[in-house]
């Protein structure tokens, strides 16, 4: 089984520790902000081409699981 690459990373050397998409300087919060504003995932991906669709969807899955655990 191949180990999964991290989707989100946090480092004090990158945006003062703000969670970003792994391998980028794009904050995960930016994706949430886009969706809250009514923008489509496609809009976010077009504006931030260093983030892959797979990374964005995986981050949303992580958020979904966390929300369901808290709500459960």
Return d(Cα 41, Cα 68) in angstroms, integer.
21
pLDDT at position 31 = 98
In the prediction, which pLDDT does 3 show?
A: 54
Distance (Å, rounded) from C-alpha 11 to C-alpha 41? Answer: 25
Q: Which domains, from first to last, does the chain contain? A: 8-71 (1.10.10.10)
Separation CA 47–CA 5 (nearest Å): 23
Q: What does pLDDT average to in each consecutive run of 10 residues of the chain (72 residues)? A: 80 96 97 98 98 97 93 75
């Amino acid at each position: 089984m191949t180990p999964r690459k991290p989707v989100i990373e946090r480092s004090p050397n990158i945006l003062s520790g703000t969670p970003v998409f792994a391998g980028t300087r794009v904050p995960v919060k930016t994706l949430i902000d886009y969706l809250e504003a009514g923008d489509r995932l496609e809009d976010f991906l077009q504006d931030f081409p260093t983030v892959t669709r797979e990374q964005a969807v995986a981050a949303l899955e992580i958020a979904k699981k966390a929300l369901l655990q808290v709500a459960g």
